[in-house]
Amino acid sequence: MMVIPLPSELLDLLLIVNISLSLTILLVSMYTKEALQFSIFPTLLLITTLFRLSLNVSTTRNILSHGEGGKVIEAFGHFVVGGNQVVGFVVFLILIIIQFIVITKGSERVAEVAARFTLDAMPGKQMSIDADLNAGMITESEARARRKKIEDEADFYGAMDGASKFVKGDAIAGIIIFIVNIIGGFIIGILIHDMDFKESASTFTNLSVGDALVSQIPALLISTATGIIVTRATSGETLGEDITGQLFSYPRLMYIVAGVITLLGMFTPIGLVPVLPVAGILAYAGWQMTRKQKTRLEETAHQVEEQQIEEVRSPESVVNLLQVDPIEFEFGYGLIPLADTKQGGDLLDRVIMIRRQCALELGIVVPVIRIRDNIQLRPNEYIIKIKGNQVAKGEIMLDHYLAMSPGFEDDSVVGIETVEPAFGLPALWVTEENKEIAELSGYTVVDPPSVVATHLTEIIKRHAHELLGRQETRALIDNVREAVPVLVDELIPGLLSIGDVQKVLQKLLKEKVSIRNLIVILEALADHAVFTKDPEVLTEYVRQAMSRQITLQYSEPGQPLRVITAGPGLEKVISERVEQSEQGSYLAIDPETSQRIYQSMSEQVSKMVNAGQQPIVLSSPAIRMYLRQLMERMMPDIPVLSYSELEPHVEVQSIGMVNI
């Protein structure tokens, strides 16, 4: 179109296509529910602008060469303007001012601000997605979809910021083309087409005005569509639904507007004749809206009531009662402020952080914790349940602080004696006035929400192996499959089942060994599952493969690892008492021998505790798992390690020896 001259009939067709295309784009922008549904708009804006400028070149060529522009341009020049060139010129200027100063300028500014704010908000939105993913609120695929949407929004508004410059440039080009057509046409009409002054001015002014109008009206529609796209907030509804739902959602305002309009007609020279029809329509609209809202509320209430009755009658309502939450936190009515955000409670936020902490430290996704009040409990009491069974309870005082002794008592610190619920340490509930005194005396002072959060965290860590089922194990393995599919395909289901892997992971969690590095665990299982399927034996192989992690967990850099060693007599007794069965090996030891072992172990553990050291038992790899089985009933929190689970560079210092 810019190079080859086109006949007037084809130009008429293309001008009609241009108007139709711009009207279509405007309607699509109005019916789009969110900006990304029309993500092609920035590119389309460039194409339509180029198409319109190409038409301007073609029409200008025809006007200046032959003194005609086709039926469409003549219609706009004579019929729309009424043959009055001055009126047409004024109308064109008004269109240019509306488009250039109002719509284009505003759209350009909104697009620029939207692009800047979208880019600035990207890190925060991505952190929010990561938090939801770590908390288990969304899946990995949902997280990827949300990240993709954020990236697309940033790309879209960035493109709109640049594309809005096309609209601005198009408006400027329209003014220049109009001036060129009038001046150039006037000169060409006199010098080339042998027209007199009046005929040349009339002909080329009409054609120039018609060409300008037929070009700027589609440009105005496109500019309006640009403004609609960049100014719309995502609401999930079309523009018409938003206007109806938001602008006409307050019937009382319709009556107020109708009354104001009526008063305007009564007390001003306007009169009641032009005012009363508008006021009547507004009042009728308000009455209709009130009636519809009342009907809608009645229908909603009726539907809710029917749904509740149906849920009670349905067989599934009984089935739902059989479901048991993995973790429940119940509290008395006096602790409601802990969970009520309106009263400043942050328990829900702390629960999210607990789930994040457990994911980092243990490598598991803790299920959603059900929080509810229980009027059967004492006002300040709370209980923690694992799979429907109570495993812990505590009692706190919201208007006090928990002060834990540094190892010696200070008579100046006055409070209510209690026991710290997470670790069973003696403590005091002190008031706000005594808080600073306790801190200056060396006491560790914590607020009630921190006491609850610490207790809940320790309970989850202690019972983490119970929370890891087959479904959770499959989710962890599927996550690893995305990174190392060859490893997972080799191990499952050819060598081990999901249940076999679950048992190994549960045994690691039971001894407080993190399973976050799941690739190392699965590698060790793949190496040794060829020779044995016994979960106990496989767990020992996995622990040896995780020697670096276990060493760092119990030792400090540059410090010797102080342990209680299993003596030769104990090693011999345990080795001789190992029995084999179809289900695997187990320790068969008589009660008298067990009691002697417990007594000797308790003496050594007490010595280390009194010396302020963490008790750790060290044995040979052959008996470690059997010694652990023997100790877990009486001393479940004492870690039992083997020599092969420690790194060679670690210095081991034996504090005591258990022998019988």
pLDDT tens digits along 12-25: 888 888 888 888 88
CA-CA distance, 124 to 111, in Å (whole number)? Answer: 21
Q: At what angle do helices 568-576 and 591-610 cross, to 10 degrees?
A: 140
Average pLDDT over residues 546-567: 87
Residue type, 573: V
Residue 233 has pLDDT above 60, yes or no: no
Percent of all residues in the chain with a pLDDT value above 70, rounded to a whole number: 90
Percent of all residues in the chain with a pLDDT value above 90, rounded to a whole number: 4
pLDDT tens digits along 497-521: 889 899 999 999 998 899 988 999 9
Q: In what order do the strands lie in the sheet with 444-446?
A: 416-419, 426-430, 401-404, 444-446
User: Can you give the pLDDT at residue 541?
Assistant: 92
User: Bigger pLDDT: 583 or 330?
Assistant: 330
Q: Which of 256-260, 322-326, 403-407 has the highest mean pLDDT?
A: 256-260
48 Cα distance to chain centroid: 37
pLDDT tens digits along 333-349: 888 888 877 777 788 88
User: Can you give the pLDDT at residue 420?
Assistant: 86
CB 194: neighbour CB atoms within 10 A? 9
Looking at 31-40, 45-54, 162-171, which range is the least confident one?
A: 162-171
User: Can you give the pLDDT at residue 383?
Assistant: 92
HSE (side-chain half, CA atoms, 13 Å) at 337: 11
Mean per-residue pLDDT of the chain: 81
User: Can you give the pLDDT at residue 580?
Assistant: 76
Q: Is the pTM of this model over 0.95?
A: no
pLDDT band at 83 (very low <50, low <70, confident <90, very high): low
Q: From its phi and psi, is residue 344 left (phi > 0), alpha (psi between -120 and 50) or beta?
A: left
State the SS3 of 583-638.
CEEEECCCHHHHHHHHHHHHHHHHHHHHCCCCCCEEECCCCHHHHHHHHCCCCCCC
* Spatial contact of 535 and 526, defined as CB atoms under 8 Å apart: no
How many residues are given for the chain?
660
Radius of gyration of the chain (CA): 40
* Spatial contact of 406 and 413, defined as CB atoms under 8 Å apart: no
- Residue 100: which residues within 8 A CB-CB, separation 6 or more? 168, 171, 172
**Cis before 406? omega within 30:** no
pLDDT tens digits along 385-405: 998 889 898 888 888 898 887
